[in-house]
Structure 1
Amino acid sequence: MRPKPQGPLNIKLLILGVTLAFLLLFILRSNLSSSSDQSTSQTVRSRDSDCSSSCTKLPSSLSHALIHYTTSSITPQQTQKEISVSAKVLQQKSPCNFLVFGLGHDSLMWSALNYGGRTVFLEEDESWIQQIKRRFPMLDSYHVVYDSKVNQADTLMEMAKGEECTSIGDARHSMCQLALKGLPKEVYETKWDVIMVDAPTGYYDEAPGRMTAIYTAGMIARNREDGDTDVFVHDVNREVEDKFSKAFLCEGYMKKQEGRLRHFNIPSHRDGSERPFCPN
């Protein structure tokens, strides 16, 4: 509904009221300006010195990522929809501790999405690590040696049915053949909030395969003292990634699958709660 028209007297009163309000504001500003000039100039100087280092400058890690991905014709290994699943979790948890099995074209992106946190990459190819370090020295990566092969997956799955592979503890002291024992010390001693398994190579029989990486990621998550760990496994369209993620990260802990990416949320098994290896 349209408002009813006002009479001439009401309009004059409105104009007078607005004029008086502006006049009062002008007087107040005049009285305050002389006393506040000195403190304002000091505040401005202080703000300028602070902002010179933090307010107006884009962090170098983000600027590197922005330049790289806008000028590169090489796309990350994961699709946009797959990346969005992990990015949503990182948005909630970052800055956090983020462990990534694999060093690839998307590594700079993962590091940037965890800005302010700690992102560590584990890579099987030492020469590839050196190439990436020359281009992006800010990335924290380690060389890892895998002693398994894709064609051993069925044998390893059978061996993993023993109690030694379901006992919760430090993976480096585990008796399970699937446990990776030669990782850097900090991998075992850090409370990881997010883990991504996108390596090692697993698309041919003689490749290392991701059996041990998936198992170890699950044990690291269970062995933390409290809280939970989000674990992502890529390439679950392949048999090894499919079977081993369901068996050792557990279908009951799976939150979502998008394309070739699965997301699991694994709670601590050392927080005093009596949990089976996989939920019923």
Structure 2
Amino acid sequence: MKSNSNNTKLILLHPYIQKQGSSNRLWLLALVSFFTLAFLGTLIYSRESIVAGAASRVALVNNPASSSATAAANEPLPTTVINALIHYASRSNDTYHMSHKDIKLISDVLRKCATPCNLLVFGLTHETLLWKALNHGGRTVFVDENRYYAAYVEERHPEIDAYDVQYTTKMSEMMELIASAKEQVRGECRPVQNLLFSECRLGINDLPNHVYEVSWDVILVDGPRGDGPDAPGRMSAIFTAGVLARSKKGGNPKTHVILHDYYRNVEKICGDEFLCRGNRVESTDMIGHFVLERVDANSFQFCGHNRTAS
């Protein structure tokens, strides 16, 4: 009779099998942990988004004015407001104020301009605040010959952006300056150029750099003084307006240039010379309205058919 001990079976597990079972459990644990964290992250993010959205809606309800401030700033002025501004500005007791007819003409040009409109004005005058208001939502820059008056206006009206320029011309030199510009039409007095680097006697080159980079939609020439032979006259302002319009880089390719006091010799002669009679679209006793288009950089003629360099 055999002993029961002979029937005992010994079962040994190979170490590799034990190690593999442990590894599988670790991978399973890592996988469960990953999905748990992902779920919690999604839940937290969704909750924050819902809270933020709700807060925005509450703010919009409680303060609708602030939410629409940006949109309102770019909206054009209502016609009733424009008409009221023109009415009261033209009824001023100031001797040098513009007539209702002339202000209306300029206002109509600004209203047709796409918003925002870039308006450059030569001269700080009785209508300065009016131009700023009528170009609501746009960019308006003023240039004046009197640095002290420009500083005074900016101090009194911080919303006005004004710069002074030192004119070196005299009205008595007008014909000489025109002849010099014609002689240098392929050099320093080119119709298309960056005037910041120009040595043309009629070009204004001492304004802040950014003024030369703006694509001006409307340029109003109502300064500097032109009341005597030693006054600077508006030769440089008109020449500069013509170059800025033809050198326009972006936006609408057309620029409206408006000359005030168009009945005077300087304004009429220089306007016809550098803005060109063929570009004049309307005129009154006091206003000359020209529309210029940007031209090729190799154009070397202000008026007529533009000849390009060979």
TM range (shorter): 0.7 to 0.9
Give the direction of change, closer, same or farther, for the CA distance of 1:126–1:271 in structure 2 (3 Å limit).
Answer: closer
- Which of 240, 251, 258 matches 2:277? 251
Deviation at 1:54, TM superposition (A): 4.7
Residue matched to 1:160: 181
Structure 1 unmatched runs, 5+: 1-41
Letter in 2 for 1:77: H
Letter in 1 for 2:280: M
Residue matched to 1:187: 211
**In the aligned structure 1, how far is the partner of 2:174 from the partner of 2:149?**
26
Partner of 1:139: helix, strand, or coil? coil
Residue matched to 1:169: 193
Give the direction of change, closer, same or farther, for the CA distance of 1:130–1:175 in structure 2 (3 Å limit).
Answer: closer
Give the direction of change, closer, same or farther, for the CA distance of 1:275–1:256 in structure 2 (3 Å limit).
Answer: farther
Is 2:94 aligned against 1:74?
A: yes
Partner of 1:160: helix, strand, or coil? helix
Q: How does 1:30-49 map to 2 (within 5 A)?
A: 46-47=60-61, 49=63
**In the aligned structure 1, how far is the partner of 2:264 from the partner of 2:227?**
8
- Which of 279, 291, 298 matches 1:265? 291
Structure 2 unmatched runs, 5+: 1-55, 306-310
Q: How does 1:44-63 map to 2 (within 5 A)?
A: 46-47=60-61, 49-51=63-65, 54=68
Residue matched to 1:129: 150
Q: Contact (CA 8 Å) 1:179, 1:216: kept in 2 or not?
A: yes
**In the aligned structure 1, how far is the partner of 2:209 from the partner of 2:146?**
19
The farther-off stretch of 158-167 and 201-210 is: 158-167
Q: Structure 1 residue runs of 4+, over 4 Å off?
A: 42-45, 52-55, 69-73
**In the aligned structure 2, how far is the partner of 1:107 from the partner of 1:53?**
30
Deviation at 1:175, TM superposition (A): 4.3
Greater gyration radius:
2
**In the aligned structure 2, how far is the partner of 1:271 from the partner of 1:180?**
19
Deviation at 1:259, TM superposition (A): 2.1
- Which of 230, 236, 240 matches 2:262? 236
TM-score normalised by the chain length of structure 1: 0.73
Letter in 2 for 1:82: D
**In the aligned structure 2, how far is the partner of 1:191 from the partner of 1:231?**
13
Is 2:159 aligned against 1:138?
A: yes
Residue matched to 2:104: 84
Aligned identity (percent) is 39
TM-score normalised by the chain length of structure 2: 0.67
Q: Contact (CA 8 Å) 1:156, 1:178: kept in 2 or not?
A: yes
Q: How does 1:21-36 map to 2 (within 5 A)?
A: none
Residue matched to 1:110: 131
